[in-house]
Chain A
Amino acid sequence: MVLRRLLRKRWVLGVVFGLSLIYFLTNTLKQEERTIRDRTLLEARDPDHRIPWKVRFNLGNSSRPITQCRNSIQGKSLLTDELGYVCERKDLLVNGCCNVNALSSRQYICKSCLANGCCNIYEYCVSCCLQPDKQLLLEHFLNRAADGFQNLFTAVEDHFELCLAKCRTSSQSVQHENTYRNPQAKYCYGESPPELLPI
Chain B
Amino acid sequence: MYKNLRDCQIKPMELFQLYLYLSPQMAMPHINLLTWNLPQLEAQMPWRYLTITMFSPLSTEYIVAFNGYFTAKARSHFISSALKSSEALDWRIVPRKNPASDFPSDFEVVQIRQASHSSLLTLEDHPYIKRVTPQRKVFRTLNYTPDLPDPGATCNNDTRWTQKWQSWQSSRPLRRTSLSLAFGFWHATGRHSSRRLLRAIPRHVAQILQADVLWQMGYTGSGVKVAVFDTGLSEKHPHFKNVKERTNWTNEKTLDDGLGHGTFVAGVIASMRECQGFAPDSELHIFRVFTNNQVSYTSWFLDAFNYAILKKIDVLNLSIGGPDFMDHPFVDKVWELTANRVIMVSAIGNDGPLYGTLNNPADQMDVIGVGGIDFEDNIARFSSRGMTTWELPGGYGRVKPDIVTYGSGVRGSGMKEGCRSLSGTSVASPVVAGAVTLLVSTVLNRELVNPASMKQALIASARRLPGVNMFEQGHGKLDLIRAYQILNSYKPQASLSPSYIDLTECPYMWPYCSQPIYYGGMPTIVNVTILNGMGVTGRILDKPIWQPYLPQNGDHIDVAVSYSPVLWPWAGYLAVSISVAKKAASWEGIAQGHVMVTVASPAGNNVGGEMTSTVKLPVKVKIVPTPPRSKRVLWDQYHNLRYPPGYFPRDNLRMKNDPLDWNGDHIHTNFRDMYQHLRSMGYFVEVLGAPITCFDASQYGTFMMVDSEEEYFPEEITKLRRDIDKGLSLIVFSDWYNTSVMRKVKFYDENTRQWWMPDTGGANVPALNDLISVWGMAFSDGLYEGDFTMADHDMYYASGCSIAKFPEDGIVIAKTLKDQGLEVLKQETAVVEGVPILGMYQTPSEGGGRIALYGDSNCIDDSHRQKDCFWLLDALLQYTSYSMTPPSLIHSNSRVTPPTGTDRPLPERLEGNHLYRYSKVLEAHLGDPKPRPLPACPHLSWSKPQPLNETAPRCVRPMVS
Residues of A that sit less than 8 Å from B by CB = 31-32, 34-35, 37-43, 73-77, 89-94, 99, 148-149, 151-152, 155-156, 161, 164-165, 168-171, 173-174, 176-180, 183, 199
B32 at the interface (CB under 8 A from A): no
B246 at the interface (CB under 8 A from A): yes
Q: Say which one of B248-256, B458-466, B727-735 lies at the interface with A.
A: B248-256
B245 at the interface (CB under 8 A from A): yes
Which of A31, A156, A168, A183 is within 8 Å of B254, CB to CB? A31
Smallest CB gap from A99: residue in B = B607
Q: Are A149 and B255 in contact (CB under 8 A)?
A: no
Question: With A89-B537, A177-B751 as given contacts, are A94 and B606 in contact (CB-CB < 8 Å)?
Answer: yes
Query: CA of A144 to CA of B867 in the docked complex: distance in angstroms?
Result: 61
Enumerate chain A residues within 8 angstroms of B341, measured Cβ to Cβ: 73
CB distance from B462 to the nearest CB of A (A): 28
Q: Are A155 and B340 in contact (CB under 8 A)?
A: no
Enumerate chain B residues within 8 angstroms of A178, measured Cβ to Cβ: 298, 324, 326-330, 751-752
Enumerate chain A residues within 8 angstroms of B299, measured Cβ to Cβ: 170-171, 174, 177
B interface secondary structure, majority: loop
Show 28 A/B contacts (Cβ-Cβ < 8 Å), sorted by A.
Answer: A32-B253, A37-B245, A38-B235, A38-B246, A38-B255, A40-B247, A73-B536, A74-B336, A75-B339, A92-B602, A94-B605, A151-B247, A151-B249, A151-B303, A156-B310, A169-B302, A169-B329, A170-B299, A170-B303, A171-B303, A173-B329, A174-B329, A176-B753, A177-B299, A177-B751, A178-B326, A178-B328, A178-B751
Query: CA of A165 to CA of B341 in the docked complex: distance in angstroms?
Result: 16
**List of 7 A-B pairs having minimum Cβ-Cβ separation, nearest first:** A171-B299, A74-B339, A178-B327, A176-B752, A177-B298, A40-B248, A76-B568
Query: CA of A191 to CA of B566 in the docked complex: distance in angstroms?
Result: 33
Enumerate chain B residues within 8 angstroms of A169, measured Cβ to Cβ: 302, 329, 332-333, 336
B754 at the interface (CB under 8 A from A): yes
Give the contact-size bracket for chain B: 35 or more
- Chain B 336-348: CB-based contact to A (< 8 A → 1; otherwise 0): 1001110000000
Residues of B that sit less than 8 Å from A by CB = 235, 245-251, 253-256, 297-300, 302-303, 306-307, 309-311, 324, 326-330, 332-333, 336, 339-341, 536-537, 566, 568-569, 602, 604-608, 751-754, 917
Q: Are A90 and B602 in contact (CB under 8 A)?
A: yes
Which of B251, B324, B332, B608 is within 8 Å of A42, CB to CB? B251
Enumerate chain A residues within 8 angstroms of B536, measured Cβ to Cβ: 73-74
Q: Are A94 and B604 in contact (CB under 8 A)?
A: yes
Enumerate chain B residues within 8 angstroms of A42, measured Cβ to Cβ: 251, 253
Which of A38, A99, A174, A183 is within 8 Å of B302, CB to CB? A174
Enumerate chain B residues within 8 angstroms of A149, measured Cβ to Cβ: 303
Q: Are B339 and A73 in contact (CB under 8 A)?
A: yes
CB distance from B736 to the nearest CB of A (A): 27
Known: A177-B329, A177-B753. 8 other contacts (CB 8 A): A31-B253, A34-B255, A42-B251, A90-B608, A164-B310, A171-B300, A176-B753, A178-B330
Enumerate chain A residues within 8 angstroms of B568, measured Cβ to Cβ: 76
CB distance from A105 to the nearest CB of B (A): 12
Smallest CB gap from A155: residue in B = B310
Query: CA of A32 to CA of B248 in the docked complex: distance in angstroms?
Result: 13
Smallest CB gap from B569: residue in A = A74
Which of B303, B307, B339 is within 8 Å of A155, CB to CB? B307
Q: Are A41 and B248 in contact (CB under 8 A)?
A: yes
Smallest CB gap from A96: residue in B = B604
Enumerate chain B residues within 8 angstroms of A171, measured Cβ to Cβ: 299-300, 302-303
Query: CA of A176 to CA of B324 in the docked complex: distance in angstroms?
Result: 13
Query: CA of A89 to CA of B339 in the docked complex: distance in angstroms?
Result: 14
Query: CA of A76 to CA of B336 in the docked complex: distance in angstroms?
Result: 10
Smallest CB gap from A28: residue in B = B253
Enumerate chain B residues within 8 angstroms of A74, measured Cβ to Cβ: 336, 339-340, 536, 569
CB distance from B230 to the nearest CB of A (A): 16
Enumerate chain A residues within 8 angstroms of B309, measured Cβ to Cβ: 165, 168
Q: Are A151 and B307 in contact (CB under 8 A)?
A: yes
CB distance from A194 to the nearest CB of B (A): 11
CB distance from A20 to the nearest CB of B (A): 13
Which of A31, A76, A91 is within 8 Å of B607, CB to CB? A91
CB distance from B648 to the nearest CB of A (A): 16
Greatest chain B CB density within 10 A among A42, A73, A170, A171 is at A171
Which of B253, B327, B336, B569 is within 8 Å of A168, CB to CB? B336
Query: CA of A21 to CA of B442 in the docked complex: distance in angstroms?
Result: 53
CB distance from A114 to the nearest CB of B (A): 19
Enumerate chain B residues within 8 angstroms of A173, measured Cβ to Cβ: 302, 329
Q: Are B607 and A37 in contact (CB under 8 A)?
A: no
Enumerate chain A residues within 8 angstroms of B752, measured Cβ to Cβ: 176-178
Query: CA of A168 to CA of B330 in the docked complex: distance in angstroms?
Result: 12
Question: With A148-B303, A155-B311, A169-B332 as given contacts, are A177 and B297 in contact (CB-CB < 8 Å)?
Answer: yes
Enumerate chain A residues within 8 angstroms of B246, measured Cβ to Cβ: 37-39
Question: With A176-B752, A177-B752 as given contacts, are A93 and B602 in contact (CB-CB < 8 Å)?
Answer: no
Query: CA of A148 to CA of B247 in the docked complex: distance in angstroms?
Result: 11
Query: CA of A2 to CA of B718 in the docked complex: distance in angstroms?
Result: 83
Q: Are B310 and A152 in contact (CB under 8 A)?
A: yes
Question: With A174-B329, A178-B326, A180-B329 as given contacts, are A39 and B245 in contact (CB-CB < 8 Å)?
Answer: yes
Smallest CB gap from A174: residue in B = B329
Smallest CB gap from A76: residue in B = B568
Which of A91, A161, A199 is within 8 Å of B310, CB to CB? A161
Query: CA of A89 to CA of B608 in the docked complex: distance in angstroms?
Result: 8
Q: Are A89 and B247 in contact (CB under 8 A)?
A: no
Enumerate chain A residues within 8 angstroms of B248, measured Cβ to Cβ: 38-41
Enumerate chain A residues within 8 angstroms of B251, measured Cβ to Cβ: 41-42
Query: CA of A34 to CA of B605 in the docked complex: distance in angstroms?
Result: 46
Greatest chain A CB density within 10 A among B298, B340, B566, B606 is at B298
Smallest CB gap from B287: residue in A = A151
Enumerate chain A residues within 8 angstroms of B306, measured Cβ to Cβ: 152, 165, 168, 170
Enumerate chain A residues within 8 angstroms of B303, measured Cβ to Cβ: 148-149, 151-152, 170-171
Query: CA of A82 to CA of B398 in the docked complex: distance in angstroms?
Result: 38
Enumerate chain A residues within 8 angstroms of B537, measured Cβ to Cβ: 75-77, 89
Query: CA of A141 to CA of B608 in the docked complex: distance in angstroms?
Result: 38
CB distance from A138 to the nearest CB of B (A): 16
Q: Are A179 and B247 in contact (CB under 8 A)?
A: no
Enumerate chain A residues within 8 angstroms of B256, measured Cβ to Cβ: 31
Query: CA of A152 to CA of B306 in the docked complex: distance in angstroms?
Result: 7
Query: CA of A38 to CA of B298 in the docked complex: distance in angstroms?
Result: 22
Enumerate chain A residues within 8 angstroms of B751, measured Cβ to Cβ: 177-178
Enumerate chain B residues within 8 angstroms of A90, measured Cβ to Cβ: 602, 607-608
Query: CA of A179 to CA of B753 in the docked complex: distance in angstroms?
Result: 12
Enumerate chain A residues within 8 angstroms of B328, measured Cβ to Cβ: 178-180, 183
Enumerate chain B residues within 8 angstroms of A151, measured Cβ to Cβ: 247, 249, 303, 307
Enumerate chain B residues within 8 angstroms of A99, measured Cβ to Cβ: 607
Enumerate chain B residues within 8 angstroms of A93, measured Cβ to Cβ: 607
Enumerate chain B residues within 8 angstroms of A177, measured Cβ to Cβ: 297-299, 327, 329, 751-753
Enumerate chain A residues within 8 angstroms of B569, measured Cβ to Cβ: 74, 76
Smallest CB gap from A199: residue in B = B917
Q: Are A77 and B310 in contact (CB under 8 A)?
A: no
Query: CA of A161 to CA of B307 in the docked complex: distance in angstroms?
Result: 11
Q: Are B608 and A40 in contact (CB under 8 A)?
A: no
Enumerate chain B residues within 8 angstroms of A35, measured Cβ to Cβ: 235
Q: Are B329 and A92 in contact (CB under 8 A)?
A: no
Enumerate chain A residues within 8 angstroms of B298, measured Cβ to Cβ: 174, 177-178
Smallest CB gap from B255: residue in A = A38
CB distance from B612 to the nearest CB of A (A): 14
Smallest CB gap from A181: residue in B = B329
Question: With A74-B340, A176-B752, A176-B753 as given contacts, are A40 and B255 in contact (CB-CB < 8 Å)?
Answer: yes
Query: CA of A73 to CA of B250 in the docked complex: distance in angstroms?
Result: 29
Greatest chain B CB density within 10 A among A32, A40, A73 is at A40
Enumerate chain A residues within 8 angstroms of B332, measured Cβ to Cβ: 169
Question: With A89-B537, A171-B299, A174-B302 as given contacts, are A94 and B329 in contact (CB-CB < 8 Å)?
Answer: no
Smallest CB gap from A88: residue in B = B602
Query: CA of A181 to CA of B833 in the docked complex: distance in angstroms?
Result: 52
